[in-house]
Amino acid sequence: MSKRRVGILTGGGDCAGLNAVIRGITKSAVNNFDMEVVGFYDGFLGLIEKRFTILTFEMVSGILTQGGTILGSSNKANPFEHRVREGGEERCVDVSDECIALCEDLAMDALICVGGDGTMTIAEKLSRKGVNVIGLPKTIDKDLAETDITFGFDTARTVATEAIDRIHTTAQSHHRVMLIEVMGRNAGWLALEAGIAAGADIVLIPEIPYSIKEIIGVARRRSRFGRQFSIVVVAEGAAPVGGTQTVHRIVKDSPDPIRLGGISHRIATEIEEQTGIECRVTILGHVQRGGTPTALDRLLATRFAVKAMELVEERCYNHMVAFQGGETVPVPIEKVAGRQRLVPLDSPLIKTARSVGTSLG
């Protein structure tokens, strides 16, 4: 080989800004370091199945504004627990050594793993077995440790805010309680920030268990004062006081098998049964993940990509690029793996919500 190489894969669920990262990595590698970029298809599954391509300048031109990822992604693939079917039975096998051998055969300086906490956990395990890894923080949930923000979050927040704005008018017209359920898993960042931005009356997040009596009380008080509708933004991981989260389904072949969702229907039923107030539920779901990335997410993704290539050149491996205090900085990937960044109860956002009269249930 005449050139050095770096690999890149996009793991976990998709989000806006992934193509901006792929573009940033490739263009920075070609322009600044005369390196080749190996793109693995479908996250870690491409690494496992040896499916990859050499990304060229032409391949990444024009993808900055596209949602999704041209490389594809997978939220099920895990080299340490790869599911195979033999003799009619399915079992998990560790194929990490084969993945490491492929990285060595390709003579890559480093493997850049773009994803959330699941991707960072797998990347950290690969680093302990000798692979030089660089992590890039991607998730609409903004729940990765050690970074102030992740790319993908701003687009999801914008989409959620616009959806709540549109629902606001129909709620007012029909005098209903409208519940809008957003993603976020165990973290309430998306619900809280979109709820504040859209002027929601009630915002329910996983970090603060809700009381159905409080929710009903807010709706009734608004009705007494002439506001015969209420907007309730619900994080999918919200749970009642003394209760548990609502599980939509279990995906057995996923590293993170629990899929939350549906809590809004439960709350709507309780409100209607106890008050007679008509309720409607809108679950935004995957609409939050797709579409054109916002300017902020394009900027973040590009800055993360350029910083990642600088770390490769400096041989500062086994770190994740984080955004702290307005700067892109490296943090040891072991400080990120297996951790989630939740909304602290003393967060200024919580104080802000309460100061403008938003109930947190």
Return the CATH class of domain 5-151+293-335. alpha beta
pLDDT tens digit string along 43-57? Answer: 999 999 999 999 999
CA–CA gap between residue 153 and residue 293 (Å, rounded): 10
Residue 174 is predicted with a pLDDT of 81
Judge whether 148 counts as a catalytic residue: no
Q: What share of the chain is helix, strand, coil (3-state, %, to 5)?
A: 40, 25, 40
Please identify every stretch of the chain with a pLDDT value under 70, giving residue numbers as ranges. 1-2, 226, 251-256
Q: 192 and 242 in contact (C-beta within 8 Å)?
A: no
Residue 254 is predicted with a pLDDT of 67
pLDDT tens digit string along 292-327? Answer: 999 999 999 999 999 999 999 999 999 999 999 999
* Strand intervals (E) in 41-115: 52-55, 82-86, 89-93, 108-115
Residue 255 is predicted with a pLDDT of 65
What is the SS3 string spanning 275-297? HCCCEEEEECHHHHCCCCCCHHH
* Strand intervals (E) in the chain: 5-10, 36-40, 52-55, 82-86, 89-93, 108-115, 133-137, 177-182, 202-204, 230-235, 247-250, 258-260, 279-283, 319-324, 327-332
Residue 17 is predicted with a pLDDT of 96
Choose, from 141, 154, 201, 297, the residue flagged as catalytic: 141
Q: 155 and 139 in contact (C-beta within 8 Å)?
A: no
Q: 4 and 312 in contact (C-beta within 8 Å)?
A: no
Whole-Å CA distances, 134 to 34, 153, 216: 19, 20, 48
3-state SS assignment for residue 41: coil
- The upper half-sphere exposure of residue 169, i.e. CA atoms within 13 Å in the direction of its Cβ, equals 4
Residue 1 is predicted with a pLDDT of 52
Any idea where the domains of the chain sit in the sequence? 5-151+293-335, 156-288
pTM over 0.75, yes/no: yes
CATH number of 156-288: 3.40.50.460
CA–CA gap between residue 171 and residue 338 (Å, rounded): 40
